[in-house]
Amino acid sequence: MGFLNSLHLKLALLVTTAATLAAAEAQTKPGCNNKCGNVSVPYPFGTSENCYYRDEDLNFFLNCTTTTSPSSGEATTQLIYGDNIPVLNISLDPPELTVSADVSYHCYNSSYSYNWMKVGKFSISNTENRFTVVGCDTYAYFRDLSSTFRTGSMLTCSNETKFKEAGGCSGVGCCQTSFPQAITNYDITLRSFENYSDVRDFNPCGYAFIAKEGSFNFSYRELLNLSNRTQFPVVVDWSVSNQTCPEAQKDKRSYACKQNSRCKESVSGIGYYCVCEDGFRGNPYLDTGCKDINECDGDNRCSRKCHNVNGNYTCSCPWGYFGDGYTNGSGCKSPIKEILLGISIGLLVIFTLVSTLCWGNKQRTLKQLRRQYFEQNGGNYMLQQLHQQQGYTDRTKIFTEDELKIATNNFDESRILGRGGQGTVYKGILPDNSIVAIKRSRVGGDSRQVKDFVNEVTVLSQINHRNVVKLFGCCLETEVPLLVYEFVDNGTLLDHIDTLKNEHSLSWETRLRIAAEIAEAISYLHSSASIPIIHRDIKSANILLNHNHIAKVSDFGASRLVPLNESQVSTVVQGTLGYLDPEYLLTGELNEKSDVYSFGVVLVELITGNKAVEFNRSGQRNLAMYFASSMKEDNLWQILDNRVLDQKNAEQLKEVAFLARRCIRMNGEERPTMKEVATELEGLIAMKKHPWVKGGDMMSEECKCLLGHVADGYENASASTSAAYDSIQKQLAFEIEDGR
């Protein structure tokens, strides 16, 4: 096995050596020298007869000379072009000769050397070379001998330190410039301004030369040491004819480009040169010089199998695979992978189709469910009611479920403002950043609650009063109906009266104003609305306060519309314990005096600070009965709220107490109307502000007339106003002294 491996290695070396020799031979004509010294000499150049290309205007003969140094006796072989120009390298593509050119110099001691070069019909490359001048008291110019073109540089630098700091060939001590193409012959002239008199110690000479770009890297040491370098490489562009490609291709006999090659215009703008076609490599000027490249042995774009063809290659896939075989194409793919991919795509398509069908079915189901909820929540009935009230339909917007979900963050617990008998209220933020309160009913589907919901929408849609919560719209496409109200941000009246919920008590003036606002709102419902409305659930928990303590009557779920030709309606008893009219509870006959009773209880709450029903209250749990009995026993001042009890408020407190007692009478006919109540409360407020009311004397004849009191309305408790007032004053003084 070791012998075979060794044999294989030797055969590989022989093949490689043969290929190298064949490539070298392919660069020259048979029998011609392919090298001179260390420089390869490819055809069309040659060093002997019949070994170089002949053209009428161009010279491709190179002289290979060997000289012996007299001092060392060493033999040196040089390749010479034209007038003794040493050739360093020859390139076919790009077509370039790299030759050696002398440096021109001029020194203070009058020694100098001016150089010139003639390259025949070839041209000095303007892209690969630069004209360079070095010195600190020097000017030089480069001249084209075939025309009047000149270019040059002037350099002065008297300070060595600044010169060192500048660095590179940047114009201080060194300057480089370019020149145009097609220059075939040039000379260089060099001079000094003042014979280096001021810079002689660090720059005794000036230098100028043409050099291949990158072959000269300038530093300040070059000012002293450049004299050690006498030559620099220069690139010369060559072509095989002065003709253009179309001109040359017309004459097949003189056309230089051989088999498997093509013509290209010279980069210097003079003549043309030849290159091998793609997929071939070698010398395009020889008959069989361009050889096919076996791309399969090197880099190629085949993913699996490569097949070399003349000038190119092809790719294929092994058995069992398919594709074009190219890495930048479809490549070679296994059918198993394709089958799996096809199955995956099929499953994906089926999954997408099923998902789409399910989504469509879900949307249809959701649409049907929303339609069902709309009907279940009394949508048709509500629209019917709203259409009967011409002019009010446009005030009520129908919101979508998605809008209200976004507004309440999907009805998040943190957005809950409160819970009541009719449902839960959430804080919502609409897209225009307006804040609203969204009421969500507790249970959906119950016919009574649906009716309450529709009733509330119907009632509120026709109310436009500053002391009634405004309804913006509703949503009917959810399982439970939703109402959207204006947001009132300061809680309920109950929260502010209850000492356990609010440490800061409302002042008496604020309480009296709130009572007047509530009375005026209820009076509006009873007598000013297009169809009279009985609220049926007036209580302190349904009175909202804004940040200015302005009262807003809310929760119209239990309200009823009363036809204009009827004074009362029969209905199932509904209300809140403690606020419910006893007469309505017994008879089931609802009229506006039922709201008067409920308001009277709220009025009692305002002046006593007690709740409508308290199970731990001694004597009487029902506040209305407790208040009436206290009034009858002349114990009013023992039950009033100490937080508002003041000698200045005594007369107003007494008047409000008598008004409250009238409101909570058992017989509804003996109760005042809400309009009378509102007028009396406004009168009390106006009397307090009137300039001719002095001190607490509000019981003058003028006050009585203004308040519109009826003498028999006070019964026995108001028989003697003066005596009662004296008794109250004494009692008040006693309680204040006692620390209440």
pLDDT: is 92 or 24 the higher one?
92
Asked which of 402-411, 434-443, 567-576 is least confident by mean pLDDT, the reply is 567-576
Set out the domains of the chain in order of their start, with CATH numbers: 96-237 (2.60.120), 368-487 (3.30.200.20)
Cβ burial of 186 (10 Å; 0-12, 13-18, 19+) is buried
71, 70, 53: which is closest to 62 by C-alpha? 53
Token readout for 66 is 């060997």
Is there a contact between 152 and 188 (Cβ–Cβ < 8 Å)? no
pLDDT of residue 709: 39
Exposed e or buried b per residue across 599-617, where buried means at least 16 C-beta atoms within 10 angstroms of its C-beta: bbbbbbbbbbbbbbeeeee
**Cα dist from 396 to 374, 382, 460, whole Å:** 16, 11, 9
Token readout for 477 is 């496409």
Q: In the chain, pLDDT over 70 holds for what percent of residues? A: 81
Phi and psi at residue 548, to the nearest 5°: -100, 15
Give the DSSP letter of residue 296: G
209, 214, 9, 220: which is closest to 104 by C-alpha? 209
Is there a contact between 623 and 578 (Cβ–Cβ < 8 Å)? yes
Mean local confidence (pLDDT), 319-328: 84
Exposed e or buried b per residue across 528-537, where buried means at least 16 C-beta atoms within 10 angstroms of its C-beta: ebeebbbbbb
* C-alpha span between 354 and 216 (Å, rounded): 75
Q: Looking at this protein, which amino acid is placed at residue 333?
A: K
Count of alpha carbons within 13 Å of 102, Cβ hemisphere only?
A: 15
Element (H, E) at 3: helix 2-25
Is there a contact between 373 and 479 (Cβ–Cβ < 8 Å)? yes
The model's pLDDT over 583-621, given as tens digits with 9 standing for 90+, comes to 998 988 888 999 999 999 999 999 998 889 888 777 678
Is a pLDDT exceeding 80 seen at residue 7? no
Mean local confidence (pLDDT), 414-424: 80
* C-alpha span between 55 and 241 (Å, rounded): 7
Q: Which residue among the candidates 292, 537, 595, 641 is catalytic per the annotation?
A: 537
Element (H, E) at 483: strand 482-486
Residue with tokens 């031979």: 25
Is a pLDDT exceeding 50 seen at residue 22? no
591, 555, 618: which is closest to 674 by C-alpha? 591
The model's pLDDT over 117-141, given as tens digits with 9 standing for 90+, comes to 888 888 999 999 999 999 888 999 9
pLDDT of residue 226: 79
- Residue 162 pLDDT grade (very low, low, confident, very high; cuts 50, 70, 90): low
Segment of 34-43, 192-201, 499-508, 614-623 carrying the highest mean pLDDT: 34-43
Token readout for 645 is 């009890």
Is a pLDDT exceeding 60 seen at residue 696? no
Mean local confidence (pLDDT), 19-33: 65
Residue 142 bridge partners (DSSP): 151, 188
Mean local confidence (pLDDT), 658-669: 94
pLDDT of residue 453: 67
* C-alpha span between 265 and 42 (Å, rounded): 20
The model's pLDDT over 64-111, given as tens digits with 9 standing for 90+, comes to 999 887 777 788 899 999 888 999 999 999 999 999 999 999 988 888
537 is catalytic: yes
- Residues contacting residue 521 through CB under 8 Å, at least 6 positions apart: 465, 467, 468, 551, 553
**Cα dist from 132 to 137, 228, 676, whole Å:** 15, 16, 115
Q: Looking at this protein, which amino acid is placed at residue 668?
A: G
- Residue 290 pLDDT grade (very low, low, confident, very high; cuts 50, 70, 90): very high
Question: Is the full-model pTM beyond 0.85?
Answer: no
SS (H, E, C) 427-471: EEECCCCCEEEEEEECCCCCHHHHHHHHHHHHHHCCCCCCCECCE
Q: Looking at this protein, which amino acid is placed at residue 42?
A: P
Token readout for 535 is 């609220």
* C-alpha span between 61 and 199 (Å, rounded): 46
Is a pLDDT exceeding 70 seen at residue 503? no
Token readout for 15 is 């093949």
pLDDT of residue 211: 94
Q: In the chain, pLDDT over 90 holds for what percent of residues? A: 37
- Residue 727 pLDDT grade (very low, low, confident, very high; cuts 50, 70, 90): very low
Count of alpha carbons within 13 Å of 246, Cβ hemisphere only?
A: 0
Mean local confidence (pLDDT), 407-411: 92
**Cα dist from 311 to 25, 260, 297, 307, whole Å:** 20, 8, 14, 11
Token readout for 459 is 């009632």
pLDDT: is 97 or 328 the higher one?
97
387, 378, 380, 429: which is closest to 408 by C-alpha? 429
Element (H, E) at 560: strand 560-561
pLDDT: is 715 or 288 the higher one?
288
The Cβ of residue 110 has, within 10 Å, a number of other Cβ atoms equal to: 7
Asked which of 11-15, 272-276, 398-402 is least confident by mean pLDDT, the reply is 11-15
Count of alpha carbons within 13 Å of 539, Cβ hemisphere only?
A: 24
* C-alpha span between 569 and 588 (Å, rounded): 8
- Residue 724 pLDDT grade (very low, low, confident, very high; cuts 50, 70, 90): very low
Mean local confidence (pLDDT), 162-181: 79
Mean local confidence (pLDDT), 445-459: 66
